[in-house]
Chains A and B, each alone.
Chain A
């Protein structure tokens, strides 16, 4: 990686409990670890997104349930369900890399 390391922050949100968010966060972490890119991932409930943005200031929000534009406060929101189903998983990962300013590797 020729670029300067910087603090990449991802907020993962799911419906009520934290279970699916944890699974999605785990899959994203794996992908970043594979590329040896440090990343901080915080999980929350969808209803907590607005508050979390203020304290955590993520680069991107990955959500298993729709998040309103208002709650996202201008942050990009990416659907996390592909990490649970496999449908569109690579595309979702690509979008996350792009949202945090990393060129996605060819062999995702």
Chain B
């Protein structure tokens, strides 16, 4: 999993779910992590199976993504939003949640992704870490916070 890159965009200015997915997906596409079908597939998936999650600390998140067939190599793209964007809720697609941070995984190997997701869920459940992510001043800081928590310590490498 040490090969999973983390890309971060701070204060992304978007006004809709689709715009966030388009911008963040394009970033993954430009860097070669995903195929040109990824953005549309993610938009479609989000319509049928939304990913908005209400979290304990009030910083709500979403996890838009697409199937492995749209991915070249694994990565996690993260966008902190300048203004909250409305996503539909995973557990209740009829209602919405106001999201401030979006995690878009490019999933190549589902079993390795599950390990990452397990750790990401621990981040979601910890308002202190979510707060750190929201207050980090640079992209690099966000990457560090996430690397520490998403990549197993025995595999983490010195920079």
Q: Using CB atoms and an 8 Å cutoff, list the residues of chain A in contact with chain B.
A: 15-20, 22-23, 26, 64-66, 79-81, 83-87, 89
Contacts and interface: CB of A to CB of B under 8 A. Distances in A.
A108 to B, nearest CB: 15
Interface string B120-142: 01001110000000000000000
Contact of A16 (B49, B54, B113): B49
Contacts of B113: 19
Given A19-B117, A85-B55, A86-B125, A64 B48 contact: no
Contacts, number: 60
20 contacts: A15-B49, A16-B45, A16-B49, A19-B110, A19-B113, A22-B114, A23-B117, A64-B90, A65-B49, A65-B90, A65-B93, A66-B91, A80-B91, A81-B91, A85-B53, A85-B54, A85-B56, A86-B124, A87-B54, A89-B125
B67 interface: yes
B150 to A, nearest CB: 13
A42 to B, nearest CB: 16
B48 A16 contact: yes
A65 B91 contact: yes
A12 B31 CA distance: 35
B117 A64 contact: no
Given A16-B49, A17-B67, A23-B118, 10 more contacts: A15-B48, A15-B49, A22-B114, A66-B91, A66-B92, A66-B93, A84-B90, A85-B125, A87-B56, A89-B125
Contacts of A19: 107, 110, 113-114, 117
Nearest to A79: B91
Contact of B114 (A23, A66, A86): A23
A26 B122 CA distance: 13
